[in-house]
């Protein structure tokens, strides 16, 4: 997968730019607050249909302008595609894929992209929701129907939770829960099964990278923690979820939320048998995150036949020389990459790709 051109109109601090990219490494250099991350954000938006920084589209439009747009020309399976997103103040965004309207929920899976930013360094230490999102982004891009199943599951879950609250306030009867439990159990089983399959591949791929970065001193195991269930008893997930929803019902009514399901699961990472979250040093955790990110690239390649593009936002300065070189060695001539950095110090010797200077919303090669 390769992005050939990005055009922005009134997007963030860019009034009007068209940039052509190299198929290898593209490096955006510039001082703080000049628009480097805005460029990666535009590419991420084209891939995921949403920003990684805001849920408010209005923020994406150049101050005082009525509308903005992002247009990306990219090659997928050797065919050139165009994707355009228009943001109009106080309206829903419009998406055109090869000039045809595309609903926002169908954008995932068109242009695939992996983002690695300093916030990802919290992937191991941070809340379980971060690890679930990591896994969901990966599976959704490799398997777009999964993304829609996930949206559907989340919608049903929030409706069940509203009903639980009404039951708690004696405004609805408990019998109304039965059809929701039936549907939620089915959807939860489908999602969990796909996550378990993905983690099986992920652990193998991540361990290869982890061993390489640590000169074979450390083994990384990634496993899926299914809240309340042993990994080896997953044949009848639908039945199990159904039973659990029934068993937890009174507790769920009391809390007004659903206590079991894939929205409560987690990933567990072990290094040489020890939980990386509790016992890993900061350096080990960084290696774990890098190994996961590289594994994510390979997972998408193995599922779709192509590497996604890689967006590295300000992470070079966060990695030490060994991790940086593992990263650059892997992506070189393999993955089209977009890197932001404050200066050129990490790239001086490598003579990688194309360099762009970013200054106050302007881009010069």
Ligand X SMILES: Nc1ncnc2c1ncn2[C@@H]1O[C@H](COP(=O)(O)OP(=O)(O)OP(=O)(O)O)[C@@H](O)[C@H]1O
Residues in contact with ligand X by CB under 6 A are 12-13, 30, 32-38, 59, 61-63, 314, 340, 342
Helix 282-304 / helix 177-213 crossing angle, nearest 10 deg: 110
For residues 56 and 215, which CB has a smaller minimum distance to ligand X in the complex?
56
For residues 36 and 84, which CB has a smaller minimum distance to ligand X in the complex?
36
CB of 287 to ligand X, least distance (A): 24
For residues 70 and 270, which CB has a smaller minimum distance to ligand X in the complex?
70
Of 105, 116, 112, 114, residue with least CA distance to 141: 112
Taking a C-beta distance cutoff of 8 angstroms, is the pair 146, 140 a contact?
Answer: yes
Tokens of 22: 């190299």
CB of 361 to ligand X, least distance (A): 7
Q: Where are the alpha helices (DSSP H) in 214-360?
A: 237-247, 249-255, 276-279, 282-304, 321-331
CB of 214 to ligand X, least distance (A): 30
For residues 72 and 276, which CB has a smaller minimum distance to ligand X in the complex?
72
**Number of Cβ within a 10 Å radius of residue 291:** 28
Of 314, 330, 313, 310, residue with least CA distance to 322: 330
CB-side neighbour CA atoms (13 Å) of 174:
10
Burial 170-188 (b: 16+ CB within 10 A, else e): eeeeeeebeebbeebbbbb
**Number of Cβ within a 10 Å radius of residue 302:** 12
For residues 75 and 342, which CB has a smaller minimum distance to ligand X in the complex?
342
CB of 131 to ligand X, least distance (A): 25
For residues 35 and 144, which CB has a smaller minimum distance to ligand X in the complex?
35
Tokens of 79: 């065919």
Of 85, 64, 124, 68, residue with least CA distance to 285: 124
CB of 289 to ligand X, least distance (A): 19
Sheet holding 266-271, edge to edge: 220-225, 266-271, 274-275
Tokens of 12: 């963030």
For residues 87 and 224, which CB has a smaller minimum distance to ligand X in the complex?
87
Backbone angles phi, psi at 256, to 5 degrees: 70, 20
Backbone angles phi, psi at 135, to 5 degrees: -65, -45
For residues 337 and 340, which CB has a smaller minimum distance to ligand X in the complex?
340
CB of 38 to ligand X, least distance (A): 4
CB of 344 to ligand X, least distance (A): 14
CB of 7 to ligand X, least distance (A): 17
CB of 203 to ligand X, least distance (A): 33
Pair type for strands 337-341 and 220-225: unpaired
CA–CA distance, 37 with 87 (Å, rounded to integer): 19
For residues 30 and 308, which CB has a smaller minimum distance to ligand X in the complex?
30
For residues 52 and 125, which CB has a smaller minimum distance to ligand X in the complex?
52
Taking a C-beta distance cutoff of 8 angstroms, is the pair 113, 40 a contact?
Answer: no
CB of 95 to ligand X, least distance (A): 20
């Amino acid at each position: 997968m390769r992005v050939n051109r990005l055009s922005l109109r009134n997007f963030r601090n860019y009034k009007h730019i068209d940039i052509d990219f190299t198929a290898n490494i593209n490096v955006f250099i510039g001082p703080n607050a000049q628009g480097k991350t805005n460029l990666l954000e535009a590419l991420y938006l084209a891939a995921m249909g949403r920003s990684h920084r805001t849920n408010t589209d209005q923020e994406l439009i150049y101050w005082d302008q009525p509308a903005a747009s992002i247009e990306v020309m990219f090659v997928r399976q050797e065919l050139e595609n165009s994707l355009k997103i228009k943001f109009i103040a106080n309206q829903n965004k419009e998406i055109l894929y090869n000039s045809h309207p595309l609903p926002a929920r169908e954008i995932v899976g068109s242009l695939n992209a992996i983002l690695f930013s300093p916030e990802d360094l919290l992937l191991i230490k941070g809340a379980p929701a971060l690890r679930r999102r990591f896994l969901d982004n990966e599976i959704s891009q490799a398997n777009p129907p999964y993304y829609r199943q996930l949206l559907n599951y989340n919608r049903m879950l929030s409706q069940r939770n509203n009903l639980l609250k009404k039951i708690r306030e004696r405004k609805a009867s408990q019998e109304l829960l039965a059809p929701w439990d039936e549907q939620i159990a089915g959807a939860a089983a489908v999602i969990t099964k796909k996550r378990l399959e993905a983690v099986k591949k992920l652990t193998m791929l991540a361990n290869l990278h982890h061993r390489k970065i640590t000169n074979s001193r450390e083994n990384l195991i990634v496993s899926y923690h299914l809240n309340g269930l042993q990994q080896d008893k997953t044949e009848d997930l639908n039945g199990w979820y159904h039973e659990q929803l029934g068993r937890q019902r009174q507790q769920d009514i009391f809390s007004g939320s659903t206590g079991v399901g894939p929205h409560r699961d987690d990933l567990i990472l072990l290094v040489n048998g020890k939980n990386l979250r509790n016992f890993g040093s900061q350096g080990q955790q960084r290696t774990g995150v890098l190994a996961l990110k590289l594994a994510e690239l390979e997972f998408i390649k193995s599922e779709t036949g192509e590497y996604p593009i890689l967006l590295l936002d300000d992470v070079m300065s966060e990695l030490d020389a060994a991790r940086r070189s593992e990263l650059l060695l892997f992506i070189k001539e393999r993955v089209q990459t977009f890197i932001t950095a404050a200066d050129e110090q990490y790239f001086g010797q490598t003579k990688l790709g194309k360099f762009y200077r970013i200054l106050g919303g302007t881009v010069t090669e």
